[in-house]
Structure 1
Amino acid sequence: MARLKSPVQRIIASTTTAVVVLSLVSCSADADREGAMGAAEVATEGASISESASDSPYREAHTENVARVVAEKFPSTPTVIGDAGYSGIAASKMFFDSSDTVVVSGSGIANELRAASIGVVAHAPVLHAPGTNDAEVIAEIDRLGASTVLLVGAALPNFDENEKATKIIQDNGTEEGLAHLTALQFETQNVDDVSDLARSTASLNADAQTLLVPSWESVTPMSNDAKVEAFPIHTKRDGEMAPIVIASPESGISAVATARAYGADIRFMDYPDPRLNSETMKMVAGLADRPLLALGEQFGTGELLAEKIERGEEITTELPGGGGLVFPGRRMVALYGHPSGPALGAMGEQPAAEAVARVTELAQQYQPFDDQPVIPAFEVIATVASEYPGEDGNYSNEFAEEDLLEYVDAITNAGGYAVLDLQPGRANFLEQAKRYENLLKRPNVGLALDPEWKIGPDEQPMMRVGSAEAAEINEVSQWLADLVAENKLPQKAFVLHQFQTQMLQNREQIDTSHPELAFVLHADGHGAPGDKYATWNMLREGLSPDFFMAWKNFYDEDFPTFTPQQTYEEIDPRPWFVSYQ
């Protein structure tokens, strides 16, 4: 797949009045409320939004969120609850000081959803024991001081109920068994896609008795006919005093169910970054320095989550298609090239206005295959590798910003996005990027680095496929992230081209932690479909999940050129950015 181009050329229910009864809670409701009332005064003070944010679209949400009274036992700032092995243990520790009852599921989505459905109704923590973490699950049952444990498709062979004075009840997996367990009638609700597991669990309501069932598998009923014992159903905990909880499709079923069993208000996001759109920002507005729980490590750290909330509230400029994130929320289809003409790609084959019309029509061909907006874009080559050293001796022609303006203005004025592409020759990526600082201060202009044309001090373009070290990439990303932050810009695309492993040296050391940037890996190899797929799969091996994948279609060097439908339906995962050359 090696190639050389011309040298000139990648969720919500709120519990009602909280009542604490029986022996389910280790500390009294009164103690929790007394502790929380001290925080209530602070929350009330913070409920008035700052004067600088008085015109924020999140003002009402901000005021409502910070006025929430939260028990002192919860962390005072945003906290991410990890969920190793999707066990639900960390969530159980966060929400439950103790519990008379626990529900434990075995392996299989059907068992997990059945356990979650029962746990929410019973107001009991839900743990997941697929057979690899029995010791940790047993330790959590001991910590909770549970007197009754319900096993749903689980075994826990090392749990000695006699020694621990704990009753074990085994669910038999049948509809009749569920009725005997709970003395309640459940209504079945199918879950049709894996991506909906956490969302469906987050929507469970203790008062609605819903049994979630995955459409692709079912619980295996037990063979014995023994009568199922009753599992205690307790009343609501003091969930109204829990922080707001956020979840996403990656959140674990047991963790989500445990939060709902406690009575926490779970707000579901399609992507674990509140800047996704205005609705997700409203979920967390005002909570950057206040109690907020996030279910799953996909949210990063509490500090990073707080930073994203702050940025989302401060920077309300939306990108084409809406929201403050480059991806997800939209996909892009781009023409690649240079304003000088057709030699460097499809974009320059026609004047700027005609190029906009062409790429807009191309993006529209993709739209029927995606529910997200498909945005037209240009990838504009700003510095062009050259076979001649030039006056500065760096084998790269750096074009002035004004030479690029016609095409950048045309696409951005049409509601699209522009990406400036650098082919540095012997130059440094950072020094070239700084030449285009004024253009990069625009909210809808991103940056691409092409290591193919990054050569050594004694080399010339086309002698070999170039490469760049992670350290140099990190210098540029740090500078660009700082530029975005200092100028209060929405997130910016940061694209790295690659079609050979050696092009990005020490790729695992590339720092993708900047919330100001959307990191995109652009697989721009050409050839037959089999070759392109092989390159695509090779580049994805060991790739940080922080990268969004991009794909390039060649008009003259692919045989055949993929159609829009093939590009979106046959490439896995579906590319977020597709360019044409």
Structure 2
Amino acid sequence: MIDDGPLWSRVSRRPREFVVLGAVVVVAILVVAWTLVGDSADRPASTAGSGPYSTALGNPNEPDAVLTSRATFPASSSAILVRDDAAPDVLARSAQAAQERRVPLLDVGPTSVQPVRNELARLGATSVAAIDPATIPDVGVGVSGLDGLRSPSSAPITDPTLVLISAGRGSEPARATAVAAGAVAAVVNGTDLLTNGDAVDFVKRHNPGRVIGIGGQFGTPALLSSHVEAARHAPELPGGGYTLFPGRRMVALYGSPGAPALGPLGRQNLPASIARAQRLAQSYQPFSKEKVIPAFEIIVTVASASPGVGNKYTNVIDPKTILPWVVEAGKAGVYVTLDLQPGRADFLSQAKMYTELLKYPHVGLALDSEWRLKPNQVHLTQIGSVEAAEVNRVADWLAALVRDNRLPQKLFVLHQFDSDMLANRNRISTANPELAVMIHADGHGTPPVKMSTWNRLLTGLQPGIVMGWKNFYTEDHPTFSPQQTMAVRPAPWFVSYQ
């Protein structure tokens, strides 16, 4: 319970520059099929049957097709070559020929002659062909036209195998090689298979089944394993999928249950709040090509004017009080973010109080740094702040929770309107793929004032952080419409209403 009334209900309106009113269990034994460093001639010959997951770590001069061939073909007496700068039609015809003949397709250029030579030697390929043999560099084996290619003696893959290839130059020969070997190939935009619907569908349907990540872009074997485990076992997010953005936008009611002074979320009961959030999200859909998801941002620890228990200046709401809001929101496809106003407590200690709620796949976490006090500070006399080191401790803990419980990616919101609120912001880590890190702009006032705050927060924003926006019903003059909000650049991925 909130024992002495919400702090915000007992303060006069103040300028915004002074105060705001308002994944995964990793398999026990992970066999690393290929760690490719140094000279490829010293590497093992094959990965067939090497374990539940495999990953290939290459160097910049090794084409992805070479890595794929090594990971999927124990041997092949025949191979097809194509220049790495071949015209699209030549590449397409070469890929089709390799798939039909079930032989590797290796792309070769001035910097990759030696890796291709090494791979042909490993395969035992004595019959090598190309659509235009005259364009192929000397690879140590005579190159004929396709009509001169002998029938291969390679054995196709019989076990379910998915080869993940990062989209980009060289992905088509790698894809064709994987298909020729009998694998299912998925070219993934980025390095996260969780954003690729076809790849997610495959690993769900083939469980267990070997998964091979081609290229160092997929990171460590443990990271590949965690992504596969999440794809196979994690529940989907509201709106579908396993990563938050750019697959959706969110529009949220902000506040706390039963506390109307804290925001619109507390001004009606739970069913009415769900309906209100749904209507609000629908009002944004005409202005977003991405699906707009309704959301709650629930204040679960509330800044207090009195010291309270432990002299912490914060009121902790019992998680059991919040649980029905989390459960019913999940049933209705509403995303929930738990907002912390810790006073003199630290964010990590408070976050851990809500561990069981954060285990729900549709629940994220917000740190409201305005209300994070130093030992001798009090609310409304000083604006709170938090160091990057504390933020990172919370992020690491939350990311581990995602991994250990096979959850989809979580939203991790950092509220800010003043530069000092997030000290050393450039040191805030975005290294946890389990989290979507967001800076949420809490400025209010006239449109020029809000845009000034927005643009100031964008300055120096490190890659990997997305932006959120807050609209105030009474503190903005006027309140931005959905169309005006979505016209802000960059368009916010998360909009909350207070």
Question: Which secondary structure does the structure 1 equivalent of 2:345 belong to?
Answer: coil
Q: Which position in structure 1 is the counterpart of 2:66?
A: 92
Q: Which position in structure 1 is the counterpart of 2:238?
A: 320
Residue 365 of structure 2 is aligned to residue 365 of structure 1: no
Q: Structure 1 residues 458, 313: closer, same or farther in 2, change over 3 A?
A: same
Among 247, 265, 280, which residue is 1:347 paired with?
Answer: 265
Consecutive unaligned residues in structure 2, runs of 5 or more: 1-14, 23-40, 99-104, 122-127
CA–CA distance in 1 between the matches of 2:327 and 2:195?
25
CA–CA distance in 2 between the matches of 1:239 and 1:524?
61
CA–CA distance in 2 between the matches of 1:299 and 1:395?
45
1:120-171, Cα deviation, whole Å (9 max, x unpaired): 24644235x7xxxx6x3455466568999999xx9xxxx9x79x99999xxx
Residue 201 of structure 2 is aligned to residue 267 of structure 1: no
Q: Structure 1 residues 269, 93: closer, same or farther in 2, change over 3 A?
A: closer
Among 382, 385, 406, which residue is 2:303 paired with?
Answer: 385
Query: Identity of paired residues, percent?
Result: 37
For the Cα contact (< 8 Å) 2:96–2:176, is it kept in 1?
no
Q: Which position in structure 1 is the counterpart of 2:55?
A: 79
User: What is the aligned-residue RMSD (CA, Å)?
Assistant: 4.5
Q: 1:454: Cα distance to partner?
A: 1.7
CA–CA distance in 2 between the matches of 1:509 and 1:561?
33
Q: What is the number of equivalent residue pairs in this alignment?
A: 435
Question: Which secondary structure does the structure 2 equivalent of 1:477 belong to?
Answer: helix
Q: Structure 1 residues 273, 231: closer, same or farther in 2, change over 3 A?
A: same
User: Residues 367-516 of structure 1 correspond to what in structure 2 (within 5 A)?
Assistant: 367-370=285-288, 372-404=290-322, 407-408=325-326, 411-484=329-402, 489-507=407-425, 509-512=427-430, 514=432, 516=434
TM-score, with normalisation over the residues of structure 1? 0.61
Q: 1:363: Cα distance to partner?
A: 0.7
Q: Structure 1 residues 100, 383: closer, same or farther in 2, change over 3 A?
A: closer
1:528-570, Cα deviation, whole Å (9 max, x unpaired): 364255235325x323x3x444333334455554433444465
Q: Structure 1 residues 401, 566: closer, same or farther in 2, change over 3 A?
A: same
1:364-395, Cα deviation, whole Å (9 max, x unpaired): 12234445542211101112223443342222
Residue 458 of structure 2 is aligned to residue 542 of structure 1: no
Question: Which secondary structure does the structure 1 equivalent of 2:251 belong to?
Answer: strand
CA–CA distance in 2 between the matches of 1:347 and 1:236?
69
CA–CA distance in 2 between the matches of 1:447 and 1:245?
34
Residue 494 of structure 2 is aligned to residue 577 of structure 1: yes
For the Cα contact (< 8 Å) 2:57–2:215, is it kept in 1?
yes
Q: Which position in structure 2 is the counterpart of 1:251?
A: 167
For the Cα contact (< 8 Å) 1:276–1:328, is it kept in 2?
no
Among 81, 86, 92, which residue is 1:117 paired with?
Answer: 92
Q: Which position in structure 1 is the counterpart of 2:225?
A: 306
Amino acid at match of 1:78: S
For the Cα contact (< 8 Å) 1:454–1:468, is it kept in 2?
yes
1:486-518, Cα deviation, whole Å (9 max, x unpaired): 555554333222345543344455455556544
CA–CA distance in 2 between the matches of 1:116 and 1:570?
42
Q: Which position in structure 2 is the counterpart of 1:43?
A: none
Q: 1:420: Cα distance to partner?
A: 1.1
Q: 1:421: Cα distance to partner?
A: 0.2
Q: 1:103: Cα distance to partner?
A: 0.7
For the Cα contact (< 8 Å) 1:81–1:90, is it kept in 2?
no
Q: 1:295: Cα distance to partner?
A: 4.1
For the Cα contact (< 8 Å) 2:256–2:298, is it kept in 1?
yes
For the Cα contact (< 8 Å) 1:467–1:505, is it kept in 2?
yes
For the Cα contact (< 8 Å) 1:112–1:253, is it kept in 2?
no
CA–CA distance in 1 between the matches of 2:406 and 2:232?
11
For the Cα contact (< 8 Å) 1:88–1:126, is it kept in 2?
no
CA–CA distance in 2 between the matches of 1:253 and 1:82?
14
For the Cα contact (< 8 Å) 1:380–1:418, is it kept in 2?
yes
Q: Structure 1 residues 285, 401: closer, same or farther in 2, change over 3 A?
A: closer
1:261-302, Cα deviation, whole Å (9 max, x unpaired): 562531245675445588533412487986422245554333
CA–CA distance in 1 between the matches of 2:119 and 2:322?
65
Moved more, 379-388 or 521-530: 521-530
Consecutive unaligned residues in structure 1, runs of 5 or more: 10-26, 37-69, 106-110, 169-181, 183-229
Q: 1:77: Cα distance to partner?
A: 3.1
Q: Structure 1 residues 244, 485: closer, same or farther in 2, change over 3 A?
A: closer
Q: 1:356: Cα distance to partner?
A: 2.4
